[in-house]
Structure 1
Amino acid sequence: MASADQTIRTPSEMAPGDKKFLHALKGGLQKTPPIWLMRQAGRYLPEYREVRATCDGFLDLCFTPEKACEVTLQPIRRYGFDAAILFSDILVIPWALDQGVRFVEGEGPKLDALTSEQDLAALSDPTKAGEKLAAVCETVSKLSASLPKETALIGFAGAPWTVATYMIEGGSSRDFTKVKHWAFAQPESFGRLIDMIVEATVSYLSAQIEAGAEAIQLFDSWAGALDAASFDRWVSAPNRAVAERLRAHHPTIPIIGFPRAAGMNLYSYIETAGVDAVSLDQMAPLELIRHTVQPKLPVQGNLDPLALLTGGAALDGAIDKIMENLSGGPFVFNLGHGVIKETPPEHVTRLVERVRGF
C-alpha cells in the first residue's frame, strides 16, 4: 500500500461527495488530515454540562435520543470536527445482557460482578442486544439526519476483552486480578462469556450501521493488561470475530481498532485483528509507527491528552511532532485517549486550528 518512507507521498483526489474522515480510512492522502477527538462530547464543554444537569443519571443521558443527539452535535458546532462519534458508553452491552450497571458520581461505573457459571447462565440472549439498545440506535438515526453533509458519523462499542473486564471486576481495576484469574483458570468458561459479548456486539453494531453509522470503532481500553499469548486469544481473535461478522453484512463500513497500551502486541494486532485502521495511544513511538504500521494500514492518534490540557508551547510542539511524522501517510488526527474533563475548550480550538493550518 504505502512505502516505508512516508515523506514521498502526495495527496490523492477524493471522489465527489467523499468525506475527509472516510477517505483517510480508505488509505487516501490529504493536504491536512481529518480530525476528531475521543470524548470530544463531554464534561469539558459547558454546553454539555448544561444538558447533563437535566438528566437522571448518566445512562438516562445515553438512552434519551434527543439529549444524546444534542451532546454529540455540540463539539461539531463548536469546532467543526470531521467526524462525530455517537454519545453513549461501552457498558451498554452488559446492560443489554441484563447485568446490573450503574454510574456513581465521582466513582465511575459499578456493575453486579459476574462470579460463577450460574451468573453467565443468567445473562440474557446476546442476539437481542441491538433490539434492547434501540434508543441508542434512534440517536444514531437522528444524528445521521442532523450532521453537516461533510461530517462522518462513527458508531462504536467496547471490544469483548475490555467489556469482560468490567463484567467480572464489577468496575474499573488496577490489576485485573479477577478477570485474569478466570481466564487462566477456566478458559472454556471465560471463552463462553467472550463469545456472548461478540454476539451482542455484532447485533448492536449492526443496528448502529443500519441506523446510519458510517464507520465503527472498537475500544479495547484494557488491552495492555495481557501477555502476548493471552492478547492474541482474548483481544485480537474476538476483535477479528466482530470485524468479520460485521463485514459479511456491511462490507463497506470501515472498522477502527483501538488496542490501548498494546505495546509490542500492536504488531500482531494489526496483522490478525481484522481492522481497517488502528488508533494509537500516546505511548506509541511516532517514527517507528511511521515505518512499520502506517505502510500497512491507516493510523489514528495520538496526542497526549495532558498536552491538550496544558496548552501553549507544549501543545504546539506535540501537534507538530505528530504531523511531521504521520501526516504524509493515511492518517486521522486524534488523541491517545479521551479529552480530560478539566481541559479548557480554547485549547481544543487551538489544536484544530494548528492541525488544519500545518
Structure 2
Amino acid sequence: TTLIGFCGAPWTVATYMIAGHGTSDQAPARLFAYREPAAFLQLLNVLVNHSAAYLIRQIEAGADVVQVFDSWSGVLDEVSFEAFCVGPMAEIVRQVRAVHPNVPIIGFPKGAGAHYRSYRQKTGVTGLGLDWTVPLTTAKELQRDGAVQGNLDPLRLVAGGKALADGVDAILKALGDEPLIFNLGHGITPETPIAHVEAMVKLVRSAS
C-alpha cells in the first residue's frame, strides 16, 4: 500500500490564517493580498519554506508520495492564481526535489478549471488532482500529460448505493486505462458512513 503524505498549499493555509476561519469566497485573504501585496507575499514565502520542510520530513518518515491541497485556488483570478498558487507550488516542488528527486508530488488546485494543464506544466508536479466538477473528457485529455487523481463527488460517497456505484464506474471506464489514482474530488465529509467507504474500496479493487 502506498503511503501519501500531504499538506495544505500556501494560498489555502494563508486564507485561514488571515480570516481565522473558512469563508465562502475567502474575501478577507484576497483583500489583504490586494491591499498589502508585499506583506502577503512575505507570508506566502514563509509558508512555502515551512511546507516544503514539512513534506521532506514526511518523506523521511516513510511517505512514498506527497500531495499539496490548494482547496481555495478556484476563487482567484488568472493573475492571482499564477502568483499565489502556481509560483509557490513550483518552489515547493523545487525544494522537495532538491532533497528527494524521485518522490512523486501531486498538486491539487481545486477549482482551477482552464488552468489545470498550465498548472501542471509550470509547477512540475508528477500527478494532478482534479475536483469533481472536471468533466471526464477533460480529465482524459489531462491524463495525456501524466497521472491524474480523482474525481468522485464526495456526496456520491455519502449517498452510497447506485449513486456511488455509477460514479465509480464512470471514472474507471473513462480513466482506468491510463495513469489514475482513484480518489474523491475533494475531502471526505464528516457524515460519510464508513460502510460506504468500504463499498467504494471494493468497487475500485474489483475493477483493477
TM-score range, shorter chain: over 0.9
Normalized against structure 1, the TM-score is what? 0.56
How many positions carry a matched residue from both structures? 207
1:263 matched to which residue of 2?
A: 113
Which residue of 2 is the match for residue 357 of structure 1? 206
**Of 228, 235, 244, which aligns to 2:78?**
228
In 2, the alpha carbon distance for the partners of 1:314 and 1:176 equals 31
For 1:283, the equivalent position in structure 2 comes to 133
Q: Secondary structure at the match of 1:264?
A: helix
2:3 alignment partner, SS class: strand
> Which 4+ runs in 1 deviate beyond 3 A?
none
Q: Where in structure 1 are there 5+ consecutive unaligned residues?
A: 1-150
1:315 aligns with 2:164: yes
3-state DSSP class of the match of 2:86?
Answer: helix
- 2:32 corresponding residue in structure 1: 182
Q: CA deviation at 1:186?
A: 2.2
Equivalent residue number for residue 69 of structure 2 = 219
The residue identity in structure 2 corresponding to 1:288 is T
Cα distance in structure 2, aligned partners of 1:194 and 1:203: 14
Partner of 2:150: 301
Name the aligned partner's letter for residue 171 of structure 1: H
Between the aligned partners of 1:337 and 1:305, the Cα distance in structure 2 is 7
SS of the residue 1:357 aligns to: helix
Q: Identical aligned pairs, as a percentage?
A: 45
Which digits, 9 at most, give the CA deviation of each residue in 1:59-95, with x for residues without a partner?
Answer: xxxxxxxxxxxxxxxxxxxxxxxxxxxxxxxxxxxxx
- The correspondence of residues 179-218 of structure 1 with structure 2, limited to 5 A, is 179-218=29-68
Structure 1 counterpart of 2:187: 338
Counterpart amino acid of 1:320? Answer: D
- CA deviation vs aligned residue, 1:212-246 (integer Å, no higher than 9, x gap): 22111101011111011110110011000000111
CA distance in 1, matches of 2:99, 2:145: 24
Inter-partner Cα distance in structure 2 for 1:152 and 1:354: 18
- Matched to 1:176, the amino acid is Q
- Normalized per residue, the structure richer in helix is 2
The aligned counterpart of 1:171 is 21
Aligned to 1:272: 122
**C-alpha RMSD over aligned residues:** 1.1
What is the alpha-carbon distance in structure 2 between the residues aligned to residue 235 and residue 287 of structure 1? Answer: 25
Q: Deviations over 1:21-76 (max 9, x none)?
A: xxxxxxxxxxxxxxxxxxxxxxxxxxxxxxxxxxxxxxxxxxxxxxxxxxxxxxxx
TM-score (norm 2): 0.95
Q: Distance in 2 between matches of 1:190 and 1:243?
A: 21
Q: Does 1:152 align with 2:2?
A: yes
Structure number with greater CO (CA < 8 Å, separation at least 6) is: 1
State the distance in 2 between where 1:350 and 1:204 align: 33
Contiguous gaps of at least 5 residues in structure 2: none
Q: CA deviation at 1:313?
A: 1.2
Partners in 2 of 1:288 and 1:162 — Cα distance?
25
Whole-angstrom distance in 1 between the partners of 2:88 and 2:162: 41
Write the deviation string for residues 72-129 of structure 1: whole angstroms up to 9, x where unpaired: xxxxxxxxxxxxxxxxxxxxxxxxxxxxxxxxxxxxxxxxxxxxxxxxxxxxxxxxxx
| Aligned twin of 1:147 | none
User: 2:22 corresponds to which letter in structure 1?
Assistant: S
Specify the alignment match of 1:347 in structure 2: 196
